[in-house]
Chain A
Amino acid sequence: MTQQKQLPVLTPRDFESDQPVRWCPRCGDYSILAQVKKVLPTLGIPREKFVFVSGIGCSSRFPYYLNTYGFHGIHGRAPALATGIKVANPDLQVWVITGDGDALSIGGNHLLHVLRRNLDVKVILFNNQIYGLTKGQYSPTSPFGKKTYSTPMGSVDNPVSPLVFALGCEATFIARSVDIDIQHLTYVIERAAKHRGTAFVEVYQDCNVFNSGAFEYAQDRVKKIDNVVYLEHGKPLLFGKDKKKGIRLDRTTMKPEIVDVSKVAPDDLLFHDEKAEEPTLAFLLARMRYPEFPEPLGVLRAIEKPTYDEMVNAQITEAIEKFGPGDLEKLFNSGDTWTV
């Protein structure tokens, strides 16, 4: 489009608002903000078409720090806000910034429905496994037995896995990355931005104050080698030093197992297929948890389906094409009328 050619070349600075960023020192949120700012100017979308929506929590302050349209909403409801915005104006690129408590506890219902509807929005879930803003209670993703201010003897709640939840909703795009894994995070955010439909990204985010080190196993340069596996479409799942370890599917138990790559035929390894409509293998991967397994990072699933906003608006067009544009006076005068 000619209009796009005239667009000023934007830089990350153009997306910076005049508000001072107020997260705690060394909070993982800083890195996520930086990567988003890096990706936005590369998308060829004018700045005024971005809308960042959030709920409540540390992560939900995000929209204030970007010089786009922004709506800091109420706890858990960001997906519903985004639905109103996107259905009203599908021309906008709408992002939802949320946290584990916001998205999976108070807002679990809204997340479920935005994912199943496949509304064309990008959802980034900052998972720090804790309530930060309210000063350190356990969250729906905190591990079983977690000791916090509200669980002095350890929590007896089983945690929910964001990826498994998203798969259960049959989301069309599901990915995971880590706050300080800068290159990988940039890649995943870019992929999410370019996906048509609900893009769901879980980011492991360190809460330096209330849950420091919760993801050290996936952040530390050395430790992560054995603890995460990077997903690449069409490639086998390999990890560990020199990628000597792989994941194989035990076809009798239907469970994944870690194998020594040198001891199995390459075709025996599990290959990643992000485009698979059938989500069973993705489920299997999403359920691989540290420390038993390396945890998958990258794009777990990316399939194409019509988007909600597109279909809602297509019905409007279809109705107008079929019956002509609405005429209120004609409507008022239809049916049984009488004149006095």
Chain B
Amino acid sequence: MKDNLISIKSVTKSFTKGKTTITPLENLSLDVPRGEFLSLMGPSGSGKTTLLNLIAGIDTPTSGEILINGEDISQLSRAQLTKWRAVHVGYIFQLYHLVPILSAYENVELPLLLGKYSKAERKKKINAALELVGLSDRADHRPSELSGGQEQRVAIARAIVHDPDLLVADEPTGDLDRESADSILNLLNSLAKDHGKTVVMVTHDPKASAAAHRALQLEKGQFSSEGHLLNTSTQ
């Protein structure tokens, strides 16, 4: 039996606004083994972000179970989810979402301020994270002084600094040139392969998807096809 970090069981998510109800995800199930780098593709509006938000505890499903590390997070309250995210998830956004008034170092520090770390412990973790993303020399820079690729690296450092099991990324390379995109993808790949993180990435880019271990195609709230199970090594 595989060790699944994520186990989604018949999840349905619908939004109701006035008299119309949209159901972007219907009766969806998915298992993601620990340490897998999974890519989700699909047309716009197919529910990719919605699914990612459910996995990351940003949103709750209308019905169904979402087991992360054996814990059913679909039952948690908003406040409980907030606490849960602080420990278990790192979220990487398409547009980085760094806090503009804080330096790279301080941005990466944000998740640690929620835990019980001493200043020295924080420093060690932040420097390690910045080093992992190759930005040790940019610690004091503000986001406005960094390139897009560098900003995304800081965002990744921020997502991993508190050592969560799960990383979710919503089109992390969507706003980057090919070269920067490739290095971000290598980084995500290595986080899964070498550091045991489970990575779920949404992307529109087939090349990005090819960097993942497995690719799933989402269409009208259902998985239409399962892609390759390759690429466990980086080029």
Partners in one complex: no
